Amino acid sequence: MAQLPNDLDEAIAQAKQATQAALDDGYRLLQVEIVIPELKVQPIAEQFIPLLADSYGERLKVYFPDAGAAALARRDWGETPYVVRAIGEKKGQIQPEDEAFLFVEPSSVEVNDVEKMCEQAGDRPVILLLPQLENVATIGIGLAGRQLRERFLNNIESCYYVKPKEGYAIFRCYPSPWQVWLETAQGGYELISETPQKPLGDELDRILARAMGTPEEGTTAEAPAQTAAPSTPKQAGLMTNLKRFLRALSQ
């Protein structure tokens, strides 16, 4: 069973393993999410890319949101066997000989371009690394936004996801299901739920309420947990490690 990462390096290693497992199982449109504010993406991309570069070499294309970010990566990384370009850049257009594509931190501003490029990629692997595509202020909540989600965003398989919150964490490392981990009084974490879909909104609230013995609306505190999985204690030092993890991500 997948365990919460103790630091950023472990999270990246897990993300690479999860991505490879999903690719091996036939998935071709994937995303990797480490949901932490002010995360510096270029160093993460540099550690993640070898997963694809070792297999595809010059047939891999790496895309950044804009020409400035792409130029900075080319400067810092030096000569690479793969192509580094900006989304929408003419020199970076998808070619028949390309075999795999990595989009680094694409945002909702580029979502339409990313969708078109994913269509052009066809059944070739596409990985979205730390995407921020679902900004409601940009894509909207009306018909256009709903159609975008139905035809594109909802078809992206989230093979790796970690989001530490105050008192709990949401985690998924393919092929494991979605997990919720609750902070314990001893400073560690324990697994309280596994679900096939990402727990959101009221469902997440119910999972946390049951685990903490808080009565839910229309239920009693003694109601049995229907989605909770057997608790698997995490080492007592995890909270300290996660705090270091968060600090490391913001540096």
Q: What is the pLDDT of residues 174-209, one digit of tens each?
A: 999 999 999 888 777 899 999 999 998 999 999 999
pLDDT of res. 73: 97
Q: In terms of domains, do 47 and 58 share one?
A: yes
What confidence tens digit (pLDDT) does each residue in 51-65 have? 999 999 999 999 999
Domain boundary among 131, 160, 189: 160
Q: Is residue 95 part of a domain?
A: yes
Select the more confidently predicted residue: 208 or 135: 208
- Is there a single domain that holds both residue 106 and residue 172? no
What pLDDT is stored for residue 141 in this prediction?
A: 58
Whether residue 206 sits in one domain with residue 83: no
Question: Has residue 225 got a pLDDT over 50?
Answer: no
- Domain range for 211 is 161-250
The confidence score (pLDDT) of residue 245 equals 54
3-state secondary structure of 44: helix
Same domain, 57 and 122: yes
The alpha carbon of residue 203 and the mean position of all alpha carbons in its chain are separated, in whole angstroms, by: 20
| Residue-level pLDDT at 244 | 54
Q: Verify that 23 and 118 share a domain, yes or no.
A: yes
Confidence grade of residue 153 (pLDDT, cut at 50, 70, 90): confident
Q: Is the pLDDT of residue 251 over 60?
A: no
Structural domains of the chain, count? 2
* Euclidean distance between CA atoms 139 and 111, whole angstroms: 8
